[in-house]
Chains A and B, each alone.
Chain A
């Protein structure tokens, strides 16, 4: 073994031409010397460069976070959705168990999903939630776009003030702000009192517990989530593009439609999803301001868990809602990737 090794070391040393050939007997340190050369710092640095673990290490932190607090709970919920409700703690049957003749048995009940379609409550709540979210998103866009545009075009000092004003409501509790709307909207609330006092109306308008109140609540609460991504998009627009459009004979409105609007599409998509996705599952606003005869899916979900204590059905509702939302998230991803590709 030593002989063949020795030959290899020697021939390598001959090839490099740095050291005279010699036998292992005369130069017993030769293998060590060669080994040292093979691992000399130049190679070490190349090794570190090629196999650097910094990048995976950096991404590992958010990855671990997502796995621990999103992936694992999701799998648990997904599992429960195939289980059966029992009167126990926890109130569902284990998915697997041992039969008497020592066979591992996995029992998946699809009945929970089937149930979602047999009881109209679920389908109608889903559809209602999507409708409420879509309408609210539309109005957020309608209100948010001009605001974001105005902020993006304002002078730097004013821009910061406006952005501050957009973010300021977050400093008050969300719940408190929604409660404040009750005071404004109820039959003897601020708005009705002012309108009656002005003589515009004689009877107070019923605004509480209507779709209108839910729209007001959601649009009010989620407007910043529409404005901020739109602003960050519009702020980056090159104004000479609009000058170029004007120079080529395009009137301001047409230039907006052909240049600004298409270029702000990623911002519109980002803002819309940031409003739409949480609005679908919104629980607080419809509970406080909304109709009692038509529930949104978030409320149904919470009722299943806490009122009915039917965890499997609640889990199935949650999974179905997730699938419902994956489609818009994927659209969002596609747009984001496309925008990144342009840079």
Chain B
């Protein structure tokens, strides 16, 4: 999927590109609680944009404002250049796939899918044709006469998707689309969603708390925390270059160290961390006051475990293996550093040779490449 993604243009890099959705300084209050706080966001045509965040971060409220179920307390939402203020859900060019699917229990699969078309002045034959067509796309053709309670979770999810897509919306909103599915089915459906999206050219806005889902689906991810968007970027950007300690910690697992900047040159920085044996050397500069306090984040998979001490004077630490979790494709090690700090390290199981396996209580050296650590302030 990543291959096809790189071929598609990246409109967010073009300063003249017209955004399909513009969210401008939108705030939503429920009583005294601020659910969405001054959010500004642009989503472009054909994107799959994921709003990612923990529960109660305001991502669903933002989605509901796009659908028209909630009105912003302040700020404005534009879809396709049109101000959405005061426009009810049934007049918006938007369809939503609900987290609970919200299928009409008294209607058959075909009845559910046809419902949206029946609201427009469309001839019966045309409706039947389009319902059959979309049920074919989601591979539910033979289930047309079933009632929702006679379907499995995955089939219901596809009915909900078909019902939302049959109206050919320009914008499809998906609320935790894969939340109720088991792992195997999730992976399968993820790729199905992507192929449908490419086939129909719909813009997707997806809400999820599952970062794996966000990573595989989206062209860009907006990470939300406490009603605010804390970073917007491609999955790779937010994983490799988190803008803040929160994002670094929230996306994937990470080892965070507190430190002090000792050198800040154009081509590198050096950070002294109490918890590590050697200074951290990062091969890109940042502009910060000298001796500033900062944090350093190193991803577990970027750390290499060795029995010998690395030659470099930077970017290593020493400890003993405290715990091992074997996951098949990789192994997770919890290494207790000399400072007492526990560090998470993952290693791909590249061979089956027993002499290469690390064991409990073994003394090991940890090292990483100078390009790997992320340094940030605050």
Chain A residues close to B by CB (< 8 Å): 238, 240-241, 243-251, 254, 258-259, 262-263, 342
**B115 x A248 contact (CB < 8 A):** yes
Q: Which of B96-104, B177-185, B236-244, B253-261 contacts A (4 or more CB under 8 A)?
A: B96-104
Bound Cα distance from A248 to B163, whole angstroms: 8
Q: Is B94 an interface residue (CB 8 A)?
A: yes
Q: How far is the CB of B89 from chain A (nearest CB, A)?
A: 4
Bound Cα distance from A249 to B116, whole angstroms: 6
- Say yes or no: A250-B90 contact (C-beta < 8 A), given A243-B69, A245-B115, A342-B149: yes
**A247 x B119 contact (CB < 8 A):** no
Q: How far is the CB of A244 from chain B (nearest CB, A)?
A: 4
A240 CB contacts on chain B under 8 angstroms: 98, 100, 102
Bound Cα distance from A258 to B111, whole angstroms: 11
**A250 x B115 contact (CB < 8 A):** yes
**A241 x B104 contact (CB < 8 A):** yes
Q: How far is the CB of B173 from chain A (nearest CB, A)?
A: 9
When C-beta atoms are compared, the residue in chain B nearest to A342 turns out to be B149
When C-beta atoms are compared, the residue in chain A nearest to B96 turns out to be A247
**A259 x B104 contact (CB < 8 A):** yes
**B106 x A262 contact (CB < 8 A):** yes
Interface string of B160-189 (1 = CB under 8 A from A): 000110010000000000000000000000
Tell me how many residue pairs across A and B have CB atoms closer than 8 Å.
Answer: 60
**B105 x A244 contact (CB < 8 A):** no
**B98 x A249 contact (CB < 8 A):** no
User: Which of A238, A245, A249, A250 has the most chain B CB within a 10 Å cutoff?
Assistant: A249
B116 CB contacts on chain A under 8 angstroms: 248-249
**A241 x B102 contact (CB < 8 A):** yes
A250 CB contacts on chain B under 8 angstroms: 90, 115, 119
**B98 x A243 contact (CB < 8 A):** yes
**B102 x A243 contact (CB < 8 A):** yes
**B102 x A249 contact (CB < 8 A):** no
Could you list 30 A-B pairs, sorted by A, with CB under 8 Å? Answer: A238-B102, A240-B102, A241-B102, A241-B104, A243-B98, A244-B96, A244-B102, A244-B103, A244-B104, A244-B163, A246-B68, A246-B69, A246-B88, A247-B67, A247-B90, A247-B94, A247-B95, A247-B96, A247-B164, A248-B95, A248-B115, A248-B163, A248-B164, A249-B90, A249-B91, A250-B119, A258-B115, A259-B104, A263-B105, A342-B105
Q: How far is the CB of B164 from chain A (nearest CB, A)?
A: 8
User: Which of B103, B105, B164 has the most chain A CB within a 10 Å cutoff?
Assistant: B105
A262 CB contacts on chain B under 8 angstroms: 106
When C-beta atoms are compared, the residue in chain A nearest to B111 turns out to be A258
- Say yes or no: A246-B102 contact (C-beta < 8 A), given A254-B119, A258-B115, A342-B149: no
Bound Cα distance from A143 to B343, whole angstroms: 68
Contact of B89 among A247, A258, A259 (CB under 8 A): A247
Bound Cα distance from A342 to B147, whole angstroms: 10
Interface string of B332-363 (1 = CB under 8 A from A): 00000000000000000000000000000000
Q: How many residues of B contact A (CB 8 A)?
A: 25
A258 CB contacts on chain B under 8 angstroms: 115
B91 CB contacts on chain A under 8 angstroms: 249
Contact of A249 among B100, B105, B119 (CB under 8 A): B119
Interface string of B71-109 (1 = CB under 8 A from A): 000000000000000001111001110101011111000
**B120 x A249 contact (CB < 8 A):** yes
B106 CB contacts on chain A under 8 angstroms: 262-263
A259 CB contacts on chain B under 8 angstroms: 104
Q: How far is the CB of A248 from chain B (nearest CB, A)?
A: 4
Bound Cα distance from A173 to B140, whole angstroms: 59
When C-beta atoms are compared, the residue in chain A nearest to B147 turns out to be A342
Bound Cα distance from A262 to B107, whole angstroms: 10
Q: How far is the CB of B86 from chain A (nearest CB, A)?
A: 15
Bound Cα distance from A240 to B116, whole angstroms: 15
16 additional contacts, CB 8 Å, given A248-B119, A249-B90?
Answer: A240-B100, A243-B67, A243-B69, A244-B98, A244-B104, A246-B90, A247-B68, A248-B164, A249-B116, A249-B120, A249-B167, A250-B115, A258-B115, A259-B104, A263-B105, A342-B105
User: Which of A254, A258, A262 has the most chain B CB within a 10 Å cutoff?
Assistant: A258
Q: How far is the CB of A243 from chain B (nearest CB, A)?
A: 6
Q: How far is the CB of B69 from chain A (nearest CB, A)?
A: 6
A263 CB contacts on chain B under 8 angstroms: 105-106
Contact of A246 among B89, B103, B104, B105 (CB under 8 A): B89
Q: B residues 142-167 with Cβ under 8 Å of A?
A: 149, 163-164, 167
Bound Cα distance from A263 to B102, whole angstroms: 13
When C-beta atoms are compared, the residue in chain B nearest to A251 turns out to be B90
A251 CB contacts on chain B under 8 angstroms: 90
Bound Cα distance from A243 to B100, whole angstroms: 12
Interface string of B104-143 (1 = CB under 8 A from A): 1110000000011001100000000000000000000000
Bound Cα distance from A240 to B89, whole angstroms: 13
In the A-B complex, list the 9 residue pairs whose CB atoms are closest, starting with the nearest. A248-B116, A249-B119, A244-B102, A246-B89, A240-B102, A246-B90, A247-B96, A249-B90, A250-B119
Bound Cα distance from A48 to B248, whole angstroms: 59
B105 CB contacts on chain A under 8 angstroms: 263, 342
Bound Cα distance from A240 to B163, whole angstroms: 15
Q: How far is the CB of A341 from chain B (nearest CB, A)?
A: 9
User: Which of A240, A244, A249, A254 has the most chain B CB within a 10 Å cutoff?
Assistant: A244
Bound Cα distance from A240 to B67, whole angstroms: 13
Q: How far is the CB of B261 from chain A (nearest CB, A)?
A: 51
Bound Cα distance from A245 to B119, whole angstroms: 9
Bound Cα distance from A111 to B97, whole angstroms: 68
Bound Cα distance from A243 to B97, whole angstroms: 11
Q: B residues 181-216 with Cβ under 8 Å of A?
A: none
Bound Cα distance from A245 to B106, whole angstroms: 13
Bound Cα distance from A83 to B67, whole angstroms: 72
Bound Cα distance from A258 to B90, whole angstroms: 15
When C-beta atoms are compared, the residue in chain B nearest to A246 turns out to be B89
Bound Cα distance from A263 to B107, whole angstroms: 10
A243 CB contacts on chain B under 8 angstroms: 67, 69, 89, 96, 98, 102
B90 CB contacts on chain A under 8 angstroms: 246-251
